[in-house]
Amino acid sequence: MPTSVSSVKTEHASRYLQQLCKHWSHRFTVEFNETAGKVPFSPETFVEFAADASALRMTLYVENPQDLERMQNVVADHLKRFAFREELDVVWTADASRV
């Protein structure tokens, strides 16, 4: 399963995690609290969030490799919309531990 990770530096990681999860909870069965969350876009495509005081870590899992870039953009675009007051740097890298 192709997997991609982004660690975004922000002091508002918990707030963004909760906003993203609440936003997607209208369409998906989302699980979250102040420090962790999971959004299942489908049974095999989902994103997990982990927040601490300095960063929001996002781990994206996709079923089809051809969907990876599109889903990275979907998640990053939503985060940037909620974080419009900040200039966030979202850089995705392949998760080598999952290969």
SS3 category, 34: coil
Give the per-residue pLDDT at 48: 98
What is the per-residue burial (b if ≥16 Cβ within 10 Å, else e) of 62-88?
beeeebbeebbeebbebbeebbeeeeb
CATH of domain 3-84: 3.30.310.50
Give the per-residue pLDDT at 98: 53
Summarised one tens digit per residue, pLDDT across range 53-97 is: 999 999 999 999 999 999 999 999 999 999 999 999 999 998 766
Question: Which 8-state DSSP code applies to residue 97?
Answer: G
Instruction: Give this prediction's pTM.
Output: 0.92
pLDDT above 90 covers what percent of the chain?
A: 92
Give the per-residue pLDDT at 75: 98
- Domain ranges within the chain, ordered by starting residue: 3-84
Cβ atoms of 19 and 5 within 8 Å: the answer is no
Check pLDDT > 90 for residue 36.
Answer: yes
Measuring CA to CA, which residue among 26, 6, 28, 3 is closest to residue 79? 6
Give the per-residue pLDDT at 99: 47
